[in-house]
Amino acid sequence: MVARRGSSGPDPVALVEIDLYGDLMIAASSADEDRLSTDRIDEVLRVQADRPDSAEEAKAAVPEAGAGSPDTP
């Protein structure tokens, strides 16, 4: 069952989500490619990604198999 907010007005979080979705739709409609890249989505939503910039950095961020496991002496 969905909780009702009563007469306090619209949900401000929902309004922000709708606005962000609209920004993504506008960006997608004007894009040359079929899908927006992750970087373009971050740019449209004005967020800073916490992911590595390159494949080398991504590979360095992933621990080797068995490294740091509790069973390793």
DSSP string, the chain: -PPP-TTS-S-HHHHHHHHHHHHHHHHHHT-SSSS--HHHHHHHHT----S-SSHHHHHHHSPPTTTT-TT--
pLDDT tens track for 43-71: 999 988 676 665 666 566 666 555 555 55
Say how far apart CA 27 and CA 41 lie, in whole Å.
Answer: 8
Structure confidence at residue 66 (pLDDT): 55
Would you state the structure tokens that stand for residue 6, as one six-digit string?
């009563």
Structure confidence at residue 13 (pLDDT): 95
Q: Record the pTM.
A: 0.52
Structure confidence at residue 48 (pLDDT): 81
pLDDT tens track for 4-44: 656 678 999 999 999 999 999 999 999 998 899 999 999 99
Say how far apart CA 38 and CA 49 lie, in whole Å.
Answer: 9
Structure confidence at residue 57 (pLDDT): 62
